[in-house]
A = this chain, B = another copy of it.
Amino acid sequence: MVNVGVLGATGMVGQRFIELLGDHPDFEITALTASKRSAGKRYEDAVTWYLDSPIPEVARDIKVVDTDPAEVKDVEIVFSALPADIALNVEPKFAEAGMTVASNAAAMRMEPDVPLVIPEVNPEHLELLEIQQKNRGWEGSIVTNPNCSTIALTMTLKPLYDEFDIERVYVSTMQAVSGAGYDGVPSMAIVDNLVPFIGGEEEKMETETLELLGDLEDGVLTPANFGVSASCHRVAVVDGHTEAVFIEFADDFEVDDVEKSLREFQGMPQKLDLYSAPQPPIIVREEDNRPQPRMDRNAEKGMAVTVGRIRKDAAFDKSLRYVLVGHNTIRGAAGASILNAELINEIM
């Protein structure tokens, strides 16, 4: 068993980390950090638990400590659910202290020597870790995962990008309220309503997607060369982001080939049979009214992306449309970081 810690353990994503790590066969939670206000308390007393599963036994009695590497002893991996501004300061200190930081925070994602990784999409970008350690003189390292809506989108783009020539992607999201944290979206904004704006989300989808599908050569990343245009909206759904995707290819294509490509996709986590790897990573549904967030978000314990309504554009032969659902706080956040850590633990 590898000892692990969770940084920012009392927030929504922190809680998902603890839920998913609660019965993990290889990782054992031995440290939990939070803000000063919580430090010193038992986890169960420090947290307002928002999930509908109970707090895992292993976490209840752990004494919460400050988010400071000096307080986190005998831990190999820390999972970071920190707010971006705190992450920026603190994550490097944990890496410096020799720990692997598997971070869900956006803070370090765009650093050229910090890999932004989805294990099914670009495991080879982990090469950057060595460069990072050398550059920064760290014994530990930082690996990040993309933002929630990007992960679900890019997992479905990966097999298509490998087989077809993508020219442009338009994506319109219908995102769950949990993505904004427990207090993030007032109910006045969402009952009988939706909000057509999520700060910074469109920019993340438009840049991270291309990085993930980019080529790394000699430590230099060349992003994929097509356009991504996103419109992001918040709807009255608790968990599970839905995305309507339109893709313009360079050439004509068969819908059956697209479906086959999605269905048969296997990434490195599947090949290595990692504990949290969904099998399959992409589920294709035939019903005309699926995927739906409440019905499909928990597929493969929330780690698979479900795709449906795969169809050609009526007017334009080279255009494809589909709808996807992914669990935003599992596949799109805590589960993503854990899968990154499992991959590193396995291959490095």
* A residues with CB within 8 A of B: 50, 52-53, 168, 170, 172, 174, 177-178, 182-197, 202-203, 206, 226-229, 231, 233, 235-238, 242, 244, 246, 288-298, 308-309, 313-316, 319, 321, 323
Question: Is the Cβ of A229 less than 8 Å from the Cβ of B293?
Answer: no
Q: How far is the CA of A58 from the CA of B174 in the complex (A)?
A: 35
Instruction: Sort A-B residue pairs by CB-CB distance and give the 8 closest, nearest first.
Output: A227-B315, A172-B172, A192-B192, A193-B294, A231-B244, A172-B244, A196-B323, A236-B236
Q: How far is the CA of A192 from the CA of B293 in the complex (A)?
A: 8
In the complex, how many angstroms separate the beta carbon of A14 from the nearest chain B beta carbon?
Answer: 15
Knowing A187-B187, A190-B191 touch, does A244 contact B196 (C-beta < 8 A)?
yes
In the complex, chain B residues whose CB is within 8 Å of the CB of A315: 168, 206, 226-229
In the complex, how many angstroms separate the beta carbon of A250 from the nearest chain B beta carbon?
Answer: 15
Question: Is the Cβ of B293 less than 8 Å from the Cβ of A193?
Answer: yes
In the complex, chain B residues whose CB is within 8 Å of the CB of A228: 314-315
Knowing A206-B314, A314-B203 touch, does A292 contact B184 (C-beta < 8 A)?
no
- Tell me which of B178, B191, B294, B309 contacts A237 (CB under 8 A): B191
Question: Is the Cβ of B235 less than 8 Å from the Cβ of A194?
Answer: yes
Question: Is the Cβ of A191 less than 8 Å from the Cβ of B233?
Answer: no
Q: How far is the CA of A228 from the CA of B291 in the complex (A)?
A: 23
In the complex, how many angstroms separate the beta carbon of A110 from the nearest chain B beta carbon?
Answer: 15
Q: How far is the CA of A177 from the CA of B188 in the complex (A)?
A: 7
Q: How far is the CA of A292 from the CA of B236 in the complex (A)?
A: 13
In the complex, how many angstroms separate the beta carbon of A160 from the nearest chain B beta carbon?
Answer: 17
Q: How far is the CA of A298 from the CA of B192 in the complex (A)?
A: 13
In the complex, chain B residues whose CB is within 8 Å of the CB of A182: 186, 188-189
Question: Is the Cβ of B238 less than 8 Å from the Cβ of A235?
Answer: no
Q: Which residue of B lies closest to A178 (CB)?
A: B188
Knowing A188-B178, A236-B235 touch, does A194 contact B292 (C-beta < 8 A)?
yes
Q: Which residue of B lies closest to A325 (CB)?
A: B196
- Tell me which of B192, B202, B231, B313 contacts A238 (CB under 8 A): B192
In the complex, how many angstroms separate the beta carbon of A156 from the nearest chain B beta carbon?
Answer: 14
In the complex, chain B residues whose CB is within 8 Å of the CB of A314: 202-203, 206, 227-229
Question: Is the Cβ of A191 less than 8 Å from the Cβ of B172?
Answer: no
In the complex, chain B residues whose CB is within 8 Å of the CB of A178: 188
Q: Which residue of B lies closest to A324 (CB)?
A: B196
Knowing A190-B191, A242-B196 touch, does A321 contact B231 (C-beta < 8 A)?
yes
Q: Which residue of B lies closest to A168 (CB)?
A: B316
In the complex, how many angstroms separate the beta carbon of A186 from the nearest chain B beta carbon?
Answer: 5
Question: Is the Cβ of B238 less than 8 Å from the Cβ of A191?
Answer: yes
Q: How far is the CA of A291 from the CA of B183 in the complex (A)?
A: 19
Q: How far is the CA of A182 from the CA of B191 in the complex (A)?
A: 12
In the complex, how many angstroms separate the beta carbon of A258 from the nearest chain B beta carbon?
Answer: 15
- Tell me which of B187, B196, B231 contacts A186 (CB under 8 A): B187
Question: Is the Cβ of A289 less than 8 Å from the Cβ of B195?
Answer: yes
Which of A50, A184, A196, A227 has its CB near the most chain B CB atoms (within 10 A)? A196
Question: Is the Cβ of B192 less than 8 Å from the Cβ of A313?
Answer: no
